[in-house]
Amino acid sequence: MTRERRILIVEDSDDDYAAMMWAWEKAQIKTPFVRYNDGESALEFLKRSASESDPRHGDLPALVLLDLNLQRQDGRAVLAEIKIDCCLKSIPVVIMTTSANPKDLEACYALGANSYIVKPFELTEFKDTLQKLVAYWMEVVRLPSSGENDANQKVKAAVDRR
């Protein structure tokens, strides 16, 4: 069964999520998405999706939109875990944050973030940004398929056996 691949949104603020949904709608983005409001459950979802034994296997998202300021586990930690997991690391992770701090920016790229976006304060601007972002990642670029993820898994299995 092939479903259209989804975007994983990790956002803990319901207000920000509401604004995002509003912009999503206004921008007429058709790509399906799934939202998790904390880092732990998002990671758990990602790991389950990557596991062969799980019924949801193969349901890995095409893109992760990750907020940095999360409750408990911080966005940077979530990013780091994704980027060291050989089954997950090829999924592009786009950081969406209110922090314009150069230190945050540098740290995220160093951890393997694929993009770093400072959320525009103005909602209309935010809508435009979101529109461009989704268009770029879902239409302009080519992303690795689930099959390539399978290849990764085979490498991992081989490594595990040794």
Q: Which is nearer to other proteins, 4 or 15 (CB)?
A: 15
Does residue 124 interact with other proteins by CB under 8 A? yes
Kindly write out the interface string for residues 81-100 of this chain, putting x where it contacts other proteins by CB under 8 A and - elsewhere.
-----------------xxx
Least spacing, CB of residue 129 vs other proteins, in Å = 14
Q: Are 50 and 44 in contact (CB under 8 A)?
A: no
Q: Contact region for other proteins (CB under 8 A) — 30-38, 49-57, 115-123, 152-160? A: 115-123
Q: Which is nearer to other proteins, 103 or 162 (CB)?
A: 103
Residues 19-78 that bind other proteins (CB under 8 A): 19, 22, 26, 69
Q: Which is nearer to other proteins, 2 or 28 (CB)?
A: 28
Least spacing, CB of residue 29 vs other proteins, in Å = 16
Least spacing, CB of residue 95 vs other proteins, in Å = 16
Three-class DSSP labels, the chain: CCCCCCEEEECCCHHHHHHHHHHHHHCCCCCCEEEECCHHHHHHHHHHHHCCCCCCCCCCCCEEEEECCCCCCCHHHHHHHHHHCCCCCCCCEEEEECCCCHHHHHHHHHHCCCEEEECCCCHHHHHHHHHHHHHHHHHHCCCCCHHHHHHHHHHHHHHHHC
* Contact residues for other proteins, defined by CB under 8 A: 13, 15-16, 18-19, 22, 26, 69, 98-101, 119, 121-124
